[in-house]
Amino acid sequence: MNTAPTPGPSGPGPPLWLLLELTYRCPLHCVFCYNPTEFARTGAELPTEDWLRVLREARALGAVQLGLSGGEPLEREDLETIVAEAHRLGYYITSSPRAWGSPPPVSPR
Ligand code: SF4
């Protein structure tokens, strides 16, 4: 596990919390949705390797807590890979899945 840097007396300190909006995809259609609803105009999602790099770089900066959001994070086919790397890096992980009409949740190991 990485050692997080300590905040300086005059600065705001390291980014402690990282929130990944993994996808805009979601099986629900809430009228109040804050995500882009025209998915075709949002472009491609960040590939797995880029998310893994973000995890490592943020951890090196001192991030300790990871939130997985979207959209529906369970729509990502690589969610298990992302969670496994986050776990390996020592993040405290939370998620906000709706888990309605989505693929089965990732099974614990
Ligand atoms: S569950 Fe969240 S992401 Fe999905 S449509 Fe509703 S507000 Fe949008």
Structural domain count, the chain: 1
For ligand 1, the distance from its centroid to the CA atom of residue 26, given in whole angstroms, is: 6
Domain encompassing residue 88 = 17-34+44-95
pTM higher than 0.75? yes
Q: Is the CB of residue 68 less than 8 Å from the CB of residue 93?
A: yes
In a domain, 90, yes or no: yes
Residue in 20, 76, 98, 102 to alter for ligand 1 test, most ligand atoms within 8 A of Cβ: 98
The CB-based long-range contact list for 50-54 (8 Å cut-off, 24+ gap) reads: 51/20, 51/22, 51/78, 51/82, 52/81, 52/82, 52/85, 54/18, 54/20
For ligand 1, the distance from its centroid to the CA atom of residue 84, given in whole angstroms, is: 25
In a domain, 30, yes or no: yes
In a domain, 5, yes or no: no
In a domain, 3, yes or no: no
83 has a pLDDT exceeding 80: yes
80 has a pLDDT exceeding 90: yes
Q: Rounded to 5 degrees, what are φ and ψ at 67?
A: -110, 135
Q: What is the pLDDT of residues 87-106, one digit of tens each?
A: 999 999 999 887 776 666 56
Q: What is the pLDDT of residues 16-43, one digit of tens each?
A: 999 999 998 888 888 898 887 676 677 7
- In this structure, what token pair is assigned to residue 73? 């994070």
Give the range among 4-8, 56-60, 84-88 with minimum mean pLDDT.
Answer: 4-8
User: What is the pLDDT of the chain when averaged over all its residues?
Assistant: 84
Nearest one of 15, 17, 20 to 96, comparing CA atoms: 20
